[in-house]
Homo-oligomer: A and B are copies of this chain.
C-alpha cells in the first residue's frame, strides 16, 4: 500500500499528503453517530483540480478507495473513512473564482464555506438561498454533493435548484465540465443533476457555478403556539395550500424540542404548548405584514396563540429557539437525527406517529423541521452508555423511516443517504431503480474506488 503514497508524493507538492495517524484519524468521520469508520491510509489536501485529478488517476491505478471530504458536517457517515482509503479534502480549494453580477451567477471552488459565499454575494445585493443549518461552516462542494436543503427551501428551493454547472474529476482522473453559465440550456443529458446529491460516489466536484437571486427584503417574523401538534400541522397545510404567495420560512417545533431548548436557554416561551410554528415573509414592508396577519389569523382559527414581531430584530429573537436547537441537542447528550419528508397533508400523521414511537420505546424524540416542505427531523435522544437505550434508539430510528415511507414520503429530504440510510434507500427505490443506480455507479466508477459502500451497495453487479 505504500506504492500509492510514494506515487502521490511524486505528483503532489510537499505537505499535501498527511500520514500522521492522529491527523488522519481526526478526519475519519463526519457528524453522524454510530457510523462505521475505517482506518484511512492518508489524508490528501488537494489545492487544485490538477491535484484532484492526479489523486484519482493514481487511486484508480492502485485500486485504492477515495473518500472526498469538505467540512465533514454531514449527518449520514458519507464522509467517513473507508478502510485503507485516501481521505481527499477539498477544503484548501476555497476560492470564489468570480461573481458575475450581470448574469447573477458565482463560480466557486468546492471548499468555499456557504456563509462566505453568501456574504460575498450580499455585497452585490445578491442572494445565494440554500441555507443548511451548517451554513456557517459547511462548504458549497459538500452542499452540492449532498444536495443540501435548509430553512429557505420552502420558498426558494434546494441546492440543486441553484447549481448551473460543475467541474468534476472522474474516477480515472479525467476532468469533465457539466452544465453551462447561461440561464437556460438543454444540450445533452443533465449530468449536473446526476453529480449533485451523489455524495462523492460518482465523481469529485472541483468547481461549482451557482445561480444567484436579487436579495429579498429583511424578513418579518411571527410565531404561534398550539395546544396540539395536529392543530399546528393543519395550520401549515392550509397555509401552504393557499394560493397566496408562499412564506419564506415555515418551521415547526414540537414540545419536546422547545423543552430541550429551554433546558439550554430559557427564551420565555409558554411551557404548556404542544407545538410552535415560526413563519417568515420576506416580501417587504408593503406586503409582509399582511402575510403575517394572514398567518396569525389562520393560526388563531386553529386555536393557536400568535405573536407578530414588531420588526426584523424582534423576529430574530423569536427565531432563536429554532437556531438554538442544534446546540441544545449537543448539550443534551447523544441523539440520532432523522430527515423524513412527507406530503404536507400527512404532516400531522407523521408527528403523531413519531410521538407514538417515542412512547413505545420510552425515549424522548424531538420533532422539529421545515414543516412547509413536509420535511421533519425527528431526533431520538438516548444515553449512549446504556446498551438497551442504544438498541431502542436504533429501532425507533428505523420505525420513523418506515413511517415516513408508509405516509408516501421519502427517507431523506435533505441530509442524504451515506451509510446510515443505505439499506433503507434500497427499500425506497425498489428493484428496477436500484438496478439503474448500480448501473450508473458502475459506469462512472468501474473500479469501485469512489466513496465505496456509501449510498448504495453493489451486490449483484460485477466486482
Contact = CB atoms under 8 A, between A and B. Distances in A.
A443 B442 CA distance: 10
A182 B432 contact: no
A202 B440 CA distance: 13
Interface in A248-304: 286-287
Contact of A183 (B174, B184, B237, B344): B344
A96 B120 CA distance: 45
Interface stretch (A18-26, A38-46, A405-413): A405-413
Contact of A184 (B101, B104, B414): B414
Interface string A102-129: 1110000000000000000000111000
Contacts of A149: 184, 186
A16 interface: no
A410 B440 contact: no
Contacts of A410: 180, 182, 184-187
A146 to B, nearest CB: 7
Nearest to A375: B184
A187 B344 contact: no
Interface string A402-433: 00000011111111110001000100111011
Contacts of A2: none
A421 B186 CA distance: 11
Contacts of A437: 188-189, 191
Interface residues of A, number: 87
Interface stretch (A5-13, A29-37, A82-90, A238-246): A238-246
Interface string A90-104: 000000000011111
Contacts of A416: 186
A102 B432 contact: no
Interface stretch (A134-142, A193-201, A314-322, A382-390): A193-201
Nearest to A446: B439
A425 B188 contact: yes
A414 B124 CA distance: 29
A197 B191 contact: no
A188 B428 contact: yes
Contacts of A439: 443-444
A238 to B, nearest CB: 9
B343 A102 contact: yes
A191 B433 contact: yes
A196 B187 contact: no
A442 to B, nearest CB: 8
B244 A214 contact: yes
Contact of A125 (B147, B190, B243): B243
A425 B186 contact: no
10 contacts: A102-B240, A161-B161, A182-B375, A185-B341, A187-B411, A187-B417, A187-B429, A188-B425, A193-B194, A436-B444
